Amino acid sequence: MIIRFLVFIFICFLSACSSITGVGKDNLPEPSALPEFNFEFKPNLMWSQTAGVGADGLYLKLSPAMANRHIFTIDAHGQACSFDKDTGHAAWCQALKTRATTGVVVKEGQVFFGTQDGLVYALDETNGRVLWSTSVDNQLLAAPYVSSNRVFAKTLDGNVYALDKKTGVFVWKYEHGSPLYLLRDMSVPQLAGHRVIVGFADGKLAAYSEDKGELLWERTIAEPESKRNFIDRFVDISASPILDQSTIYVVTYQGNFSAIDLRTGAIVWERPFSSYAGMVLTPKYLIVSDAQSVIWALDRQTGKEVWKQEKLKFRDITGPALQNNKYIIVGDKEGYLHWLNVGNGSFVSRMRIKDDAILATPLVDHHQVYLLTQKGVVASISSVGN
């Protein structure tokens, strides 16, 4: 059990207790040895820069974002930066003196993120100037979702907020609630067909109307086990749901992987599964990293296994990224990037950036891969040989 990913008591977050790295460390399984294989290509480090303190030793997935030929980052102390994605040159860095707890999202000239103090920030993409900040009353661990006119944010206590994108003015709030115990990871709200789709720590998935926040449907994806061991009761939806036309793919920790009808909330298929890291759609498959760092390819129509790769077990891998519809890329806690063949899960390449954990799913732009390490190194890697 990867204890360090868990939040042991809800009040811990409310009192700003957020450093949980190392808790239960002696009980962690040994990570798998690096697999041996014949490299198909050799990745090259194009540039690297320091983007503040990173997560400052905490388990925070401060995911970077990419827009308009720049990479945007935030660190745990609130330093926001913009880097030219080709050269690594810092266009700007802005010290905001706040405790950022989410990654960044960039939309139509604005950069958004959330904080430990329950603030949602919007910055000017060109210079980092604060455009607005709005309090949502509790800590955010998942980045907001930003549409053309709304910012949707989910807080630690299980409430959902809609804010005006230009001004930050409150539009609506829905109080769902949260269990006493929950995982450190949280899923990002999604938007499809004027429905806001939100996964919660109690294993429920809900759809709300975009304009008013009215509950349209709610579906239980997994229910906690009735056991004395509180760890067995975690069923968080920590990996962000994926939308594919009229289908929502959603997975819980210690529960189920389900395909859900967007309109009605009905279950299309489901299978037992446990994940918190993330997933990605390919033209044929649904690729997901499970809770033991096994990578699976599932049939999108049935949920049946196509292949799985177990040789990264217990390496605390990131969610998968898709490159050119040919390769799956994941990072791990020892600072390695791994490339796998999307068709069969075999390894094709590997590169170590730093002896520093990669927590957030890498960004991919054609042959370029961008990542941010736990200590704040942002890097560009070329895999042009593929």
pLDDT tens for 231-244 read: 888 999 999 999 99
**Is pLDDT at 364 greater than 80 in this prediction?**
yes
Name the pLDDT band for 185 (thresholds 50, 70, 90): confident
Mean pLDDT of 364-380: 97
Domain membership flag for residue 273: no
For residues 164 and 43, give the distance between their C-alpha atoms in angstroms, rounded to a whole number. 42
Name the pLDDT band for 2 (thresholds 50, 70, 90): very low
Q: Compute the half-sphere exposure of residue 371: CA atoms within 13 Å on the CB side of its CA.
A: 32
Mean pLDDT of 213-230: 88
Name the pLDDT band for 225 (thresholds 50, 70, 90): confident
What pLDDT score was predicted for residue 27? 65
Domain membership flag for residue 326: yes
What pLDDT score was predicted for residue 18? 35
Taking only the tens place, the pLDDT of each residue in 325-336 is: 999 999 999 999
What pLDDT score was predicted for residue 379? 98
Q: What is the CATH number of the domain that holds 303?
A: 2.130.10.10
Domain membership flag for residue 121: no
Domain membership flag for residue 183: no
Name the pLDDT band for 15 (thresholds 50, 70, 90): very low
Total number of domains constituting the chain: 1
Domain membership flag for residue 39: yes
Domain membership flag for residue 302: yes
Q: What is the pTM of this model?
A: 0.92
Is residue 293 within 8 Å of residue 285, measured between CB atoms?
A: no
Mean pLDDT of 237-263: 97
**Is pLDDT at 3 greater than 70 in this prediction?**
no
User: What residues have CB less than 8 Å from 12, skipping those under 6 apart?
Assistant: 18
Domain membership flag for residue 174: no
Domain membership flag for residue 41: yes
**Is pLDDT at 346 greater than 50 in this prediction?**
yes
Give the residue ranges of DSSP H helices in 132-253: none
CA nearest to 76, candidates 94, 52, 93:
52
Residue numbers of the domain that contains 352: 34-58+278-386
CA nearest to 172, candidates 183, 160, 184:
160
Mean pLDDT of 79-95: 98
For residues 104 and 66, give the distance between their C-alpha atoms in angstroms, rounded to a whole number. 9
Mean pLDDT of 261-286: 97
